[in-house]
């Protein structure tokens, strides 16, 4: 071999060496990455195995919840409780389950001690809780016909959260569906009292905000509170799995159907497993709600709180009705606010009802101009503004809340001392619901209504409510006469007819 050939060969070898070195380094890097991946996988599997073992041990050590029936409660006691609280129970299976009249009876059913500690601050269960708890612990489906403020969130929340604990599962087990964002966040706030105390995760999903955080939170939550629209968005894109739901709660079912969510509700219910417990709350009992119950619930026990056939007002509320000229309403409102927030009453919470959102917006501006600090709740506000207004009223930053019926329906606003009806509502039922925001939880309250000749067709019904609650009827109101139609149906009045509810209604838009 010549000297030139030797040099060429040497150059070739030298030129190949870097690529060989590079290849060697790459191989080493690949091997290291594979080893790291393998170690990471083994570590994860080991951790999951350990967690599963601990979880199984915890579940094995937890005593299962079992319905306890207090032998000291006689049938006479049960009948007395039902009569005093105007409770009716329709039980198709004739189980004859006694109500839970004390927290000690609930504790005897082996409900988790941390949950018991959360509810021990209350004196006793509310009527809906007393009836619902034993049936839910027993595994029954329940329909609750009750108004907001009756304690219904804990009525389903206590057995539902207890069930998650006893299951030992980290999967999504409890789903609450609510018609509006405000109601959903209200339920969420109440449920987190229980989930925080028991180291569980609960999340709230609703429209109007980014999905990103909601997507990540639902993956690690055992309980979800949701509005139908956003829930279906997450379901359709595969971000939430409802196949392991054990407890499904439909809150204000009638209102969801009114808002056009019937098909959404059916789709949500079909996405859950069949062997679950379903609880439905509704203020009325129309055909669509009955159909949902018939198709998706198993022999449900129907519990009605209050006299559903005869409209009546809380007797702890002092009802004042003042007949005024429509042009004087706003000046009269300012006088009333100064009266009800004078001296020691300066921090009392006052809820003012307007009829339409444009009226609410105008009055809000007037009150602000007059120096009053007022929060508003109506349809022209965005979600952040509505949430902020409600929160400032609840925590006492602002003691005046101006609201429309639509925006405020279903919201449980505590410690309202006075309700002022700036404009009378469209129905007597709405009047009773409005004034029912005060005088809750055994407390007294005041309602002050400004009545004009524009509402004279409702004078007779208003007089009946006043007389039924032992309240004086003002002379000026008597001048309008007392004619009123007979109420023949708890939801639809005297002219109720079970017509085809699937027929499209004419849409009316109010300002």
Per-residue model confidence as pLDDT tens digits over 266-281:
999 999 998 999 999 8
List the single range of 28-37, 58-67, 375-384, 486-495 with lowest mean pLDDT. Answer: 486-495
- Tell me whether domains 75-305 and 317-478 share a fold: yes
Give the side-chain half-sphere CA count within 13 A for 351: 29
- Of 11-20, 182-191, 386-395, which has the strongest mean pLDDT? 182-191
Please state whether beta strands 87-90 and 301-305 pair in parallel, antiparallel, or not at all (unpaired).
antiparallel
- Whether the Cβ atoms of residue 336 and residue 448 lie closer than 8 Å to each other: yes
Single out the residue of 287, 298, 338, 336 nearest to residue 449, CA to CA: 336
CA distance 122 to 357: 37
Average predicted confidence (pLDDT) for the chain:
83
How, if at all, do strands 400-404 and 375-377 pair? Answer: parallel
Residue 152 pLDDT class (50, 70, 90 cuts): confident
Which residues are 346's β-sheet partners? none
Residue 427, pLDDT above cutoff 90: no
Question: Do the Cβ atoms of 86 and 307 come closer than 8 Å?
Answer: yes
In whole angstroms, give the CA distance from residue 369 to residue 366: 5
Q: What is the pLDDT of residues 325-352, one digit of tens each?
A: 999 999 999 999 999 988 888 889 999 9
- Domain-wise residue ranges, the chain: 75-305, 317-478
The CATH architecture of the domain made up of 75-305 is 3-Layer(aba) Sandwich (3.40)
pLDDT for res 149: 64
Longest dimension (CA), the chain: 132
Tell me what pLDDT residue 15 has: 60
Find which of 34-38, 200-204, 251-255 is predicted with most confidence, using mean pLDDT: 200-204
Per-residue H/E/C for 359-396:
HHHHHHHHHHHCCCCCEEECCCCCHHHHHHHHHHHHCC
Q: Measure the CA–CA gap between 184 and 250, rounded to whole angstroms.
A: 11
| pTM of the predicted model as reported, rounded to 2 decimal places | 0.66
Confidence at residue 51, expressed as pLDDT on a 0 to 100 scale: 45
The fold adopted by the segment(s) 317-478 is Rossmann fold (3.40.50)
Reduce the DSSP state of residue 302 to 3 states and report it.
Answer: strand
CA 402/CA 405 separation, integer angstroms: 10
Instruction: Show Cβ contacts of residue 21 under 8 Å, excluding neighbours closer than 6 positions.
Output: none
Query: Which pLDDT value is given to residue 382?
Result: 77
Q: What pLDDT digit, counting tens, does each position of 188-242 carry? A: 999 999 999 999 999 999 988 889 999 999 999 999 999 999 999 999 999 999 9
Helix (H, G, I), strand (E, B) or coil at 35: helix
pLDDT at 484 over 60: no
Per-residue model confidence as pLDDT tens digits over 356-394: 888 999 999 999 999 999 999 887 777 778 888 888 898
The SS3 of residue 162 is helix
- Predicted pLDDT of residue 385: 83
Report whether pLDDT(8) > 80: no
Residue 96 pLDDT > 50, yes or no?
Answer: yes
Q: What is the token pair recorded at 134?
A: 């034993």
């Amino acid at each position: 071999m010549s000297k030139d050939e030797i040099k060429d060969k040497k150059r070739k070898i030298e030129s190949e060496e870097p690529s060989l070195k590079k290849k060697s380094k790459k191989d080493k890097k690949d091997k290291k990455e594979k080893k790291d991946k393998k170690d990471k996988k083994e570590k994860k599997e080991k951790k999951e195995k350990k967690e599963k073992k601990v979880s199984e041990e915890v579940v094995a050590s937890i005593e299962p919840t079992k319905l306890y029936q207090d032998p000291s409660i006689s049938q006479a006691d049960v009948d007395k409780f039902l009569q005093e609280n105007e409770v009716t129970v329709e039980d198709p299976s004739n189980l004859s389950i006694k109500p839970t009249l004390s927290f000690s009876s609930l504790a005897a059913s082996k409900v988790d001690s941390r949950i018991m500690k959360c509810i021990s601050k209350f004196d006793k269960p509310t009527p809906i809780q007393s009836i619902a708890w034993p049936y839910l612990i027993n595994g029954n489906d329940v329909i609750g016909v009750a108004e907001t403020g009756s304690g219904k969130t804990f009525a389903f929340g206590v057995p539902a959260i207890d069930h998650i604990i006893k299951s030992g599962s980290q999967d999504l087990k409890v789903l609450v569906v609510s018609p509006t964002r405000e109601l959903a966040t209200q339920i969420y706030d109440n449920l987190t009292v229980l989930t925080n105390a028991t180291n569980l995760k609960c999340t709230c999903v609703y429209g109007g905000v980014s999905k990103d955080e909601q997507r990540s939170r639902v993956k690690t939550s055992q309980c979800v509170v949701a509005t139908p629209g956003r829930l279906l968005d997450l379901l359709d894109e595969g971000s939430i799995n409802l196949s392991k739901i054990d407890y499904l709660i439909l809150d204000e079912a009638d209102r969801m159907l009114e808002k056009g969510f019937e098909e959404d509700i059916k789709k949500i219910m079909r996405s859950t497993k069949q062997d679950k417990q379903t609880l439905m709350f509704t203020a009325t009992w129309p055909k669509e709600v009955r159909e949902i119950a018939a198709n998706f619930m198993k022999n449900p026990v129907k519990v009605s709180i209050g006299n559903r056939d005869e409209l009546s007002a809380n007797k702890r509320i002092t009802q004042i009705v003042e007949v005024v000229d429509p042009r004087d309403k706003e000046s009269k409102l300012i006088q009333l606010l100064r009266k009800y927030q004078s001296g020691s009453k300066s921090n009392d919470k006052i809820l003012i009802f307007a009829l339409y959102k444009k009226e609410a917006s105008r009055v809000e501006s007037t009150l602000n101009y007059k120096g009053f600090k007022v929060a508003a709740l109506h349809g022209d506000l965005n979600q952040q503004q509505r949430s902020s207004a409600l929160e400032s009223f609840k925590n006492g930053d602002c003691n005046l809340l101006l609201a429309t019926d639509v925006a405020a329906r279903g919201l449980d606003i505590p410690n309202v001392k006075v309700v002022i009806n700036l404009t009378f509502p469209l129905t007597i039922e709405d009047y009773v619901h409005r004034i029912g925001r005060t005088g809750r939880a055994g407390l007294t309250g005041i309602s002050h209504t400004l009545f004009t000749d524009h509402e004279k067709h409702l004078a007779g019904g208003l007089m009946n409510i006043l007389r039924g609650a032992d309240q004086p009827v003002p002379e000026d109101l008597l001048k309008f006469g007392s004619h009123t139609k007979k109420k023949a149906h708890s939801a639809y009045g005297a002219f109720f007819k079970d017509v085809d509810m699937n027929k499209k209604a004419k849409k009316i838009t109010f300002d």
